[in-house]
Amino acid sequence: MLHIYATPLSANGRKVLAICRQLELKPKVHIIDVYRGEGRTPEYLAINPAGKIPSMVDGDLILFESNAILIYLAEAHGNHGLWARDAKARGTIARWLFWESSQWQPALSPFLAEVVGHRLFPQRMPAPRTTPDWTTASLQPLLETLETTLGGQMFLAGSALSIADFSVAGMMTYFRAARFPFGAFPALSRWYQAIEALESWRSTEAPLWSTAHTP
């Protein structure tokens, strides 16, 4: 049986849970709240020695790294849905998966740390004194890459929804809480609204990241 270990509180966890719903898979989901130390239990460390999420177990295969899990789920359990059988199409999708893990997420993680940390641990971490500055030089080239790409096509890999869209959308889980200026990026905004309209994305939303949330 297919097992997924994750929490929708996590961007990486959410995108795996959303892909399962989008592909109409029925894994056994184990909610592991790593923010409450549940990733450090001996039982979970036996699955993922790093104590991180998401993780996947499928028979004798144990897999971590969220984008690797997305590929595996689409290929092994989703009949290549949201993925591709054509090598060129796979390369286009894979390019965004690598971009997400090497550039997008590393740039956003420290930038969003105060907002995310305060929402997760309001008693321990003070609220940010100012709204995050989305014009910072480290983010502008990345946002412009997305805006330019999505200005010419519906989805990141072309005209069809793919795991690339879920991968990049993962970190945007936190964008409304961090007051992202959607109006300044109309193509990116249009695309993310399409992602948010998906039942698979809505059903994996954690209320903690709503702009209306108060601890």
**pLDDT per residue as tens digits for the range 1-18:** 999 999 999 999 999 999
pLDDT of residue 210: 84
Looking at 16-25, 55-64, 97-106, 206-215, which range is the least confident one? 206-215
Q: Compute the chain's Rg from CA coordinates.
A: 17
pLDDT of residue 212: 63
pLDDT of residue 211: 77
Rounded CA gap, 39 and 18, in Å?
A: 21
| Confidence band, pLDDT 50/70/90 cuts, at residue 213 | low
**pLDDT per residue as tens digits for the range 39-63:** 999 999 999 999 999 999 999 999 9
**pLDDT per residue as tens digits for the range 134-177:** 999 999 999 999 999 999 999 999 999 999 999 999 999 999 99
What rounded mean pLDDT belongs to the chain?
96
Rounded CA gap, 160 and 85, in Å?
A: 14
Mean pLDDT of all residues in 105-117: 97
**Contacts for 106-110: CB closer than 8 Å, 24+ residues apart:** 107/138, 107/139, 107/142, 108/139, 108/171, 108/174, 109/171
Q: Tell me the percentage of the chain whose pLDDT exceeds 90.
A: 96
> What is the Cβ-side half-sphere exposure of residue 34, based on CA atoms within 13 angstroms?
20
Cis peptide before 106 (omega within 30 of 0): no
Rounded CA gap, 87 and 126, in Å?
A: 48
Q: Tell me the percentage of the chain whose pLDDT exceeds 70.
A: 98
Instruction: Indicate if the pLDDT at residue 19 is higher than 90.
Output: yes
In the chain, what are the domains? 2-77 (3.40.30.10), 87-202 (1.20.1050.10)
Rounded CA gap, 122 and 42, in Å?
A: 28
Longest dimension (CA), the chain: 50
